[in-house]
Amino acid sequence: MGYNEQERAFIEWYPRGYGVGFKVKRRLFETQTEYQRLEIYETEGFGKLLVLDGTVQLVEIGEESYHEVLVHPVMLAHPNPKRVLVIGGGDGGTLREVLRHDTVEKAIMVEIDEGVVEASYLYLDVAKDLLDRLIKKEEPRAELIIGDGVKYLRETGGERFDVIIVDSTDPVGPAKLLFSEEFYRDAYEKLNDEGLYITQAGSVYLFTNELLDAYKAMKKVFDRVYYFSFPVIGYASPWSFLIGVKGDVDFTRIDLERAKKLDLYYYDPERHETLFQMPRYVRKLLEGQ
């Protein structure tokens, strides 16, 4: 698992011996935070690489293939997203994309591991300036809370959100609770009457069972649930995303006027429907739920 000195490569091993690897020039940083093992590498062709507990979180070159796709479909499907909650996402990439929408008045990011925020600020060119302003509490439209997202959602009082985005580690391991029916209920309750919830949901081919479990649990809670996948650079592609809808929002329709101002590189709002393309067996499995 991990760094192979001889090969000068970092490899993430998925189940059944499927690997995703990068040739690296050197390891820049390594630490055990309060929650996980964090490593940062300089890769040969993709900028810096952030690894948590042996799993690839992002590479600088291509990180938008994840962050754009996690954020903009829900932000553009919601008629007027003013209040946004991000759970996880300590590298700042998700919040950076959220704040590109002028509709946003307040965005809160709840990250459990301060170590991820610090290392991302120090080593990564993903959202350096934003993280700096968040740490200094100088970002007028956003706030960083270091804490447990599950607890935050359960305990926060009257706060309601238009969009909730979960940018967590995989549905296996420490983030498992973020894929539970109980958690989805708390999220549903904290959404405004018209609200959208999105979570990354793992590799389509390699975590199919976890994906199905999350889908089933979400269907019990949300008014409608959607699935889409996208080829994310650095992950075992295609990568899956699950959307929960509360109330009268149509996730299949995108505000193309607002989309024009964004000038995106990976997610194509004019071809929103192509997100829903999927392997036939996955469609069959989801339809069976």
Residues 91, 113, 167, 186: which is the catalytic one?
A: 167
Which of 36, 57, 229, 240 touches ligand AG3 (CB under 6 A)? Answer: 57
Q: What is the 3-state secondary structure (H, E, C) of 241-276?
A: EEEEEECCCCCCCCCHHHHHCCCCCCCCHHHHHHHH
Which residue in 61, 62, 81 sits closest to 73, CA to CA? 81
> What would the DSSP string read from start to end of 186-254?
HHHHHEEEEEEEEEEEEETTTSHHHHHHHHHHHHHHSSEEEEEEE--TTSSSSEEEEEEEESS--TT--
Query: Is 63 or 186 the residue whose CB approaches ligand AG3 more closely?
Result: 63
At its nearest, how many Å lie between ligand AG3 and the CB of residue 35?
A: 14
Does 94 help bind ligand AG3 (rule: CB under 6 A)?
yes
Out of 73, 81, 89, 269, point to the residue binding ligand AG3 (CB under 6 A).
89
What is the Cα–Cα distance from 236 to 279, expressed in whole angstroms? 15
Is residue 10 classed exposed, middle or buried when 0-12, 13-18 and 19+ CB atoms within 10 A define those classes? buried
* Residues 191-250 within binding reach of ligand AG3 (CB under 6 A): 200, 235
- Binding test (CB under 6 A) with ligand AG3, winner from 36, 43, 65, 169: 169
- By CB atoms closer than 10 A (0-12, 13-18, 19+), residue 289 is exposed
Q: Binding of ligand AG3 at residue 111 (CB under 6 A)?
A: no
Residue 86 CB, shortest distance to ligand AG3, in Å, is 9
| Nearer CB in complex with ligand AG3: 39/167 | 167
Cβ–Cβ < 8 Å for 235, 56: yes
Tell me, yes or no, if 186 is annotated catalytic.
no
Q: Tell me how far, at minimum, the Cβ of 253 lies from ligand AG3, in Å.
A: 26
Counting contacts by CB under 6 A, is residue 149 touching ligand AG3?
Answer: no
Cβ-based nearer residue to ligand AG3, 93 or 192? 93
Site of interaction with ligand AG3 (CB under 6 A):
12, 55-58, 89, 91, 93-94, 167, 169-170, 200, 235
Active site residues: 167
